[in-house]
Amino acid sequence: MSDNGIRYISKPHPVTGVTNSKLGIWCFLASEVMLFGGLFSAYVLLRASAPSWPHGSDLLNVPLATLNTLVLITSSVTMVMAWASLALKDFSKYKRYMAATILLALVFLAVKSVEYAHKFEHHHFPSTNTFYAIYFTLTGLHGLHVLGGVVVNTYFLFPGSALWKKDPEQFKGRIECAGLYWHFVDLVWIFLFPVLYLL
């Protein structure tokens, strides 16, 4: 670590006991909780004040969403295994698990695209009704987060992984932060799935 870099990104800060990177990503995730929290709150308000509300399973594809839930859960496991591989100093295993995480995220997005395409074919758009408005807003924002995760993880799989040779501890910290973000994206879906598709 050079002297002009950000301090305490490889070693814990003596006051907080965690690296500044980890503190930063948790503050970011806190803001993300509020972002999605606001939309969940809007969902509750819209649903509670609507004279009638459709059952999600009547309009949406539950088997595809169940598959996507399992895909995202599996990607969370491969992500944490990528981090564990670095902790065990097995870089080639890290690459395999990270590649699997990216691949699973792309599968999730592909399945979501199929769902969206099906909706558009039947002329169901955000403007169709309040249910579709909040459905597309919540799943669209979540999908953008998945896409963001793919971009970050792809960087850490290819050019960003050069840091492993220079500063393994810092690289492991970066993967831990990327993992925390990825698990958060999984957490959001864990609530979106029953709220939108099953209730």
Partner 1 sequence: MTDNPEEIKKHVKVYITVFAALAFLTVLTVAASYLKLPLVPAILVALFIASLKAGLVAGFFMHLLSEKQVIISILAVTVFFFVVLMLLPALSSSSLYVS
DSSP string, 31-91: HHHHHHHHHHHHHHHHHHHSS----HHHHS-HHHHHHHHHHHHHHHHHHHHHHHHHHTT-H
End-to-end alpha-carbon separation of the chain, Å? Answer: 51
Minimum CB separation from partner 1 for residue 84, in Å? 5
Choose, by CB under 8 A, the member of 14, 17, 51, 159 that binds partner 1: 17
Binding status of residue 60 toward partner 1 by CB under 8 A: no
Choose, by CB under 8 A, the member of 1, 8, 20, 40 that binds partner 1: 40
Q: Give me the amino acid identity at 116.
A: Y
Q: Dihedral (C-alpha) 49, 53, 57, 58: value to the nearest 10 degrees?
A: -170
Task: Using the structure block, give the residue that is written with the tokens 């955000």.
Answer: 126
Contact 190, 182 (CB under 8 A): no
Total number of residues binding partner 1 (CB under 8 A)? 47
DSSP string, 155-191: HHHTGGGGHHHH-HHHHHHHHHHHHHHHHHHHHHHHH
Choose, by CB under 8 A, the member of 6, 50, 87, 144 that binds partner 1: 87
Choose, by CB under 8 A, the member of 23, 59, 107, 111 that binds partner 1: 23
Q: Which is nearer to partner 1, 158 or 198 (CB)?
A: 198
Q: Which is nearer to partner 1, 120 or 191 (CB)?
A: 191
Binding window for partner 1 (CB under 8 A); candidates: 80-88, 123-131, 133-141, 151-159: 80-88
Minimum CB separation from partner 1 for residue 110, in Å? 19
Binding status of residue 59 toward partner 1 by CB under 8 A: no
The candidate with the shortest Cα–Cα distance to 160, out of 185, 183, 177, is 177
Q: Which is nearer to partner 1, 73 or 110 (CB)?
A: 73
Q: Which is nearer to partner 1, 150 or 196 (CB)?
A: 196
Minimum CB separation from partner 1 for residue 170, in Å? 14
